[in-house]
């Protein structure tokens, strides 16, 4: 059995998928404590409110195992999700899974080497005129398990700014064997 481990990164803040989580019994305690680390410039309360809203939003796909807030642009919060599933060894080409589950169009896909993965790709996906969304998505095979890290936004410039940090997040994901 594998457990998900994500190395702490300066650019990403974990957003619990459910409560209780760690030392926080509920979303109010979590948002207040996270909001308190910001300088009190009048934005602390609105940031805590935004955190509560983010925590309540359902991930774009079922089965998300982690959710993280990108700290590169706090004025417009953007969240990445991490998914892990078995069966990567059954997929001949990860490119075929680039758009799985999202219903978006593949704009680009490129093979990329990321430490800790046997193989990996980066896909950039786009919506249409009715849903002008863009998505950066890393997919990789880690010891036969499929790891997907994606960030969806309505702002293409934000995706361009966040892409290096998204790659760092993907590289920080580790599957750790645990006793059954």
- What CATH number should be reported for the domain holding residue 111? 3.40.1000.10
Q: Is the pLDDT of residue 39 over 80?
A: no
Phi-psi region of 92 (alpha: psi -120 to 50; beta: other; left: phi over 0): alpha
Q: What's the pLDDT tens digit per position in 128-152?
A: 888 889 999 999 999 889 999 999 9
Same structural domain, 51 and 70: no
* End-to-end Cα distance, the chain: 6
Q: What is the DSSP letter of 105?
A: E
Going by C-alpha positions, the residue among 115, 140, 15 that lies closest to residue 65 is: 15
Same structural domain, 42 and 70: no
Same structural domain, 33 and 68: no
Same structural domain, 44 and 67: no
Question: Confidence band (pLDDT; 50, 70, 90) for 8?
Answer: confident
What range does the domain containing 118 cover? 2-16+59-177
Residues sharing a CB contact under 8 Å with residue 144, sequence separation 6 or more, in sequence order:
86, 87, 88, 89
Given this model, what pLDDT does residue 47 score? Answer: 75
Question: Confidence band (pLDDT; 50, 70, 90) for 37?
Answer: low
Same structural domain, 75 and 151: yes
Same structural domain, 22 and 88: no
Query: Do 44 and 38 form a contact (C-beta atoms < 8 A)?
Result: yes
Report helix angle 27-36 to 44-56, nearest 10: 140
Same structural domain, 24 and 95: no
Residue 167: Cβ within 10 Å count:
17
CA-CA distance, 154 to 140, in Å (whole number)? 25
Same structural domain, 51 and 81: no
Same structural domain, 64 and 148: yes
Phi-psi region of 103 (alpha: psi -120 to 50; beta: other; left: phi over 0): left
Q: What's the pLDDT tens digit per position in 47-65?
A: 777 788 888 888 888 899 9
CA-CA distance, 138 to 46, in Å (whole number)? 31
Same structural domain, 52 and 76: no
Question: Confidence band (pLDDT; 50, 70, 90) for 180?
Answer: low
Phi/psi for 85 (5° steps) reads -150, 155
Given this model, what pLDDT does residue 141 score? Answer: 94
Q: Which residue has the higher pLDDT, 140 or 46?
A: 140
Given this model, what pLDDT does residue 38 score? Answer: 62
* Average pLDDT of the chain to the nearest whole number: 87
Structurally, the chain folds into a number of domains equal to 2
Same structural domain, 47 and 64: no
Same structural domain, 166 and 143: yes
Cα–Cα distance list, 89 to 40, 48, 109, 150, 176 (Å)? 50, 42, 19, 21, 18
């Amino acid at each position: 059995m594998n457990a998900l481990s994500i190395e702490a990164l300066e650019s990403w803040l974990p957003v619990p998928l459910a409560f209780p989580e760690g030392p926080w019994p509920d979303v109010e305690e979590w948002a207040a404590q996270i909001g308190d680390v910001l300088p009190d410039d009048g934005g602390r309360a609105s940031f805590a409110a935004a955190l509560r809203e983010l925590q309540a939003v359902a991930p774009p796909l079922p089965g998300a195992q982690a959710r993280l807030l990108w700290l590169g642009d706090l004025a417009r919060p953007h969240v990445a999700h991490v998914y892990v599933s078995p069966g990567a060894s059954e997929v001949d080409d990860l490119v075929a899974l680039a758009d799985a589950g999202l219903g978006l169009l593949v704009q680009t896909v490129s093979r990329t080497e990321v430490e800790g993965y046997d193989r990996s790709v980066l896909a950039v996906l786009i919506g249409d005129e009715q849903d002008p969304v863009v998505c950066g998505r890393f997919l990789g095979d880690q010891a036969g398990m499929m790891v997907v890290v994606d960030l969806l936004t309505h702002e293409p410039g934000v995706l361009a700014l966040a892409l290096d940090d998204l790659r760092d997040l993907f590289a920080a994901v580790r599957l750790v064997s645990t006793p059954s």
